Amino acid sequence: MKRLIALIAVGVLLAGCATGRLTSEERLELYRAHAGPPQNAMRYFGSLNGWAELGDSALAVWTRPSEAYLLELRGPCYGLSYATAIGLTSRIGQVSARFDKVLIRDPNQGPTVPCFIGSIRPLDVKALRASEKELRQAQVQEREGTDG
């Protein structure tokens, strides 16, 4: 399994180095490589520590600095790629796959259509951060190598 994650990370690394920045699709693949198996629900007590869009049908949410989840939506979520804030529906401190929704919150736009959560997968935050750090270092080295 570690070998598979390493191969995926190398593929993302090579693709990202070509442009100097990862696309949403490449970032989604990186997050998928560090996600555990799908689970029915995640703990949620009304506030997020952070979030990142991963295209128009997926996002990562941090419930604590060291606890994050990959949420893949049932379909495209209009406005996710430029949203200034999001919310999650929940019941009794839990967000459930297939029942709860991501809500786009944009003060410049009226109410938006809620986006249903298709799957919830826990992220290995430590490994994800290490991979992102390696990608940044590789990009810096690539730039240094081309300047000289």
Whose tokens are 């990608």? That residue is: 135
pTM of the complete model beyond 0.85:
no
- The larger pLDDT score, comparing residue 137 to residue 52, is at 52
Q: Is the pLDDT of residue 7 over 50?
A: no
5 pLDDT higher than 50 = no
The predicted structure's pLDDT at residue 78: 87
Given a cut of 80, whether residue 8 has pLDDT beyond it is: no
Q: What number is the average pLDDT over the span 75-79?
A: 90
Summarised one tens digit per residue, pLDDT across range 47-64 is 899 999 999 999 999 999
pLDDT of residue 18: 46
One-letter amino acid at 144 equals E
Q: Residue 131 contacts by C-beta under 8 Å, 6 or more apart in sequence?
A: 9, 30, 33, 34
Task: Say if residue 122's pLDDT is above 70.
Answer: yes
Lookup: tokens for 98 = 């297939």
Beta bridge partners of 94: 43, 91
End-to-end CA distance of the chain: 38
DSSP label of 75: S
Q: Specify whether the CB–CB gap between 101 and 16 falls below 8 A.
A: no
Residue 1 has which token pair?
């399994």
Average pLDDT over residues 100-111: 81
Cα-based torsion angle of the residue sequence 125, 53, 140, 65 in order, rounded to the nearest 10 degrees:
-30
Q: What is the pLDDT of residue 101?
A: 96
Residue 1 DSSP one-character state = -
Reply yes or no on whether the pLDDT at 11 is more than 90: no
pLDDT of 141 over the 70 cut: no
Instruction: Compare 142 and 75 and report the one with higher pLDDT.
Output: 75
